[in-house]
Amino acid sequence: MPVLPTDWQSRVAFDRSHVWHPFTPEKDHVADPPVPVIGAEGVDYLLADGRRVLDGISSWWCNIHGHGHPRLVSALERQAGRLDHVMFAGFTHEPALELAARLRPRLPQSLTRCFFSDDGSTAVEVALKMAFQAQLQKGENGRTRFGALSDGYHGDTLGAVGVGELDNWLTGLFRPLLLACDRLVVPEDPRYEINPQDSPPRLERAIAEIREFFYEHGSGMAAFIAEPLVQGAGGMRFWAPELLAEIRKQCDSCGVYLILDEVMTGFGRTGRFLAIDTCGVAPDFLCLAKGLTGGMLPLALTWTTDTVYELFWGDASEGRTFYHGHTHTANATACAVACASLSLFDNEPVIACAEKLSCTMREAWTQLADHPSIRRARTLGCIAAAEIVDPRTGRPHDPALRYGWKLHRKALDHGLLIRPMGDCLYLMPPLVTPLERVHESVEVIAKLL
Ligand SMILES: Cc1ncc(COP(=O)(O)O)c(C=O)c1O
């Protein structure tokens, strides 16, 4: 007796009776039920009704090498058969060590210690807790607040929500439960726009504002957190590397740790291995997840320095231990897949591929930039973004119309998975996407707009 009915209509009815999906008003699924996906090949998903769609957003920004890459699949199978998982407290294993050994040379030299966790949110939680505890163990008891960028996003657990933007649809309502956090506004950088309206970038004013922010809040902050170069869920805001360098400087002079969240920007997404490779800024904590396993399995890392690590050194009775861990910390199977993904970066031209993809995305997005429904078309590496407007008024559509959601559903009929965030339309396909598929996708978007 099969557990599920054999037809997809009944299976979707089962889904509607028992399953709750992320980041979607469940009521939307009355008219537009969840789409059954039965397989994936390369950069495409295969839908149950026979449609084939390009994964235009790398399945929430995690897929790097396409789906089901044979080297990742065989690493998964091999490792699961040998040692699927062992708790990491008091034990260690080859895939975790190999992963640390493969990544270390690709990071700033000062980042020497890694702590494993499960996803982007937990990588951020680890960094926040470690930074706070490190300050306490230095005797800095008054540092009970954090600093962050306005429009930031660092995940959905409460610590991560507390340092994300609160004045938007993602997190606002949890305000009474959150960490104390002061927010700094940085301007978007018009140098990434295809038809910049605003030039040159207002760097001097922004640098002065950063200095004022740290003058006001620096002595009470344990750490400052930012997504380097690209604020993803905050609306694909591209910001200037010069400002990140200034934030680093201010953190140093105020004794504040700098946490950089490369959960989205890591692993080639910006055209370099890490976004910080563009600006030469080394953080005290670096958060990695999503693309760490090429997007195949959940796994995360928080890297930090020897100086931080030494603050946790001591006998159990001294109370300096970092008492944090998750059941699947350093899951051996996920670590083996991450090693296979990094070996592709080492042995195949993944970054060269990302550079070509960046150029093609810029070219294709340039064609879209003058569309009457588009404003502020911009690209940074393999990320292209723009604001959708009503062509009759030049202003955003009424949110009640759910324009972005409708565009997402319509695009599926034309072989493309995109999922605008409010008015923000973006394309962020796997790094190996064939270049002609980028042009085709942009033609689909232009037609649907
Ligand atoms: C910059 C950034 N940090 C953290 C997260 C949270 O990652 P996860 O969804 O894996 O918890 C995200 C997710 O989109 C992200 O973009």
Ligand 1 pocket: which of 156, 227, 264 to mutate (most atoms within 8 A of CB): 264
Tell me whether the omega of the peptide bond preceding residue 34 falls within 30 degrees of 0, making it cis: no
What's the pLDDT score for residue 199? Answer: 63
Distance 385 CA to ligand 1 centre (A): 18
Q: Please name every residue paired with 293 in a beta bridge, in sequence order, or none if there are none.
A: none
Terminal-residue alpha carbon distance, the chain: 47
Q: How does residue 376 score in pLDDT terms, banded at 50, 70 and 90? A: very high
What's the pLDDT score for residue 169? Answer: 57
Closest by CA to 152, choosing from 57, 291, 247, is 247
What's the pLDDT score for residue 386? Answer: 98
pLDDT at 171 over 70: no
**Which residues surround ligand 1 with Cβ inside 6 Å?**
119-121, 124, 153-155, 227, 232-233, 261, 263-264, 289-290
* pLDDT tens profile 287-329: 999 999 999 999 999 999 999 999 999 999 999 999 999 999 9
Work out the percent of the chain whose per-residue pLDDT is above 90: 94
Q: How confident is the model over 10-30, as a mean pLDDT? A: 95
pLDDT at 170 over 60: no
HSE-up (13 A, CA, CB side) for residue 399: 6
Most distant CA atoms of the chain, gap in Å: 70
CA 52/CA 107 separation, integer angstroms: 37
Domain ranges of the chain: 35-67+350-448, 72-347
Distance 200 CA to ligand 1 centre (A): 31
Q: Which is the closest atom of ligand 1 to the Cα of 119?
A: 10
* pLDDT tens profile 61-83: 999 999 999 999 999 999 999 99
CA 120/CA 288 separation, integer angstroms: 7
* pLDDT tens profile 241-284: 999 999 999 999 999 999 999 999 999 999 999 999 998 999 99
Q: Which carries the bigger pLDDT value, residue 446 or residue 201?
A: 446
Within 10 angstroms of residue 397's Cβ, the number of other Cβ atoms is 17
Distance 126 CA to ligand 1 centre (A): 13
* pLDDT tens profile 379-414: 999 999 999 999 999 999 999 999 999 999 999 999
What's the pLDDT score for residue 196? Answer: 86
CATH topology of domain 72-347: Aspartate Aminotransferase; domain 2 (3.40.640)
Across the beta sheet with 44-47, the strand order is 37-41, 44-47, 52-55, 416-417
What is the pTM (predicted TM-score) of this model?
Answer: 0.97
* pLDDT tens profile 216-241: 999 999 999 999 999 999 999 999 99
* pLDDT tens profile 342-369: 999 999 999 999 999 999 999 999 999 9
What's the pLDDT score for residue 200? Answer: 63
Q: How confident is the model over 180-192, as a mean pLDDT? A: 96
Among 3.90.1150.10, 3.30.390.30, 3.40.50.10470, 3.30.930.10, what is the CATH number of 35-67+350-448?
Answer: 3.90.1150.10
* pLDDT tens profile 117-150: 999 999 999 999 999 999 999 999 999 999 999 9
Report the sign of the C-alpha dihedral through residues 86, 90, 95, 96, in that order: positive
Q: How does residue 373 score in pLDDT terms, banded at 50, 70 and 90? A: very high
Ligand 1 pocket: which of 153, 287, 419 to mutate (most atoms within 8 A of CB): 153
Distance 262 CA to ligand 1 centre (A): 9
Distance 286 CA to ligand 1 centre (A): 13
Distance 312 CA to ligand 1 centre (A): 27
What's the pLDDT score for residue 1? Answer: 78
Work out the mean pLDDT of the chain and round it to a whole number. Answer: 96
Determine contact, residues 388/396, Cβ cutoff 8 Å.
Answer: yes
What's the pLDDT score for residue 198? Answer: 64
Q: Which is the closest atom of ligand 1 to the Cα of 152?
A: 1
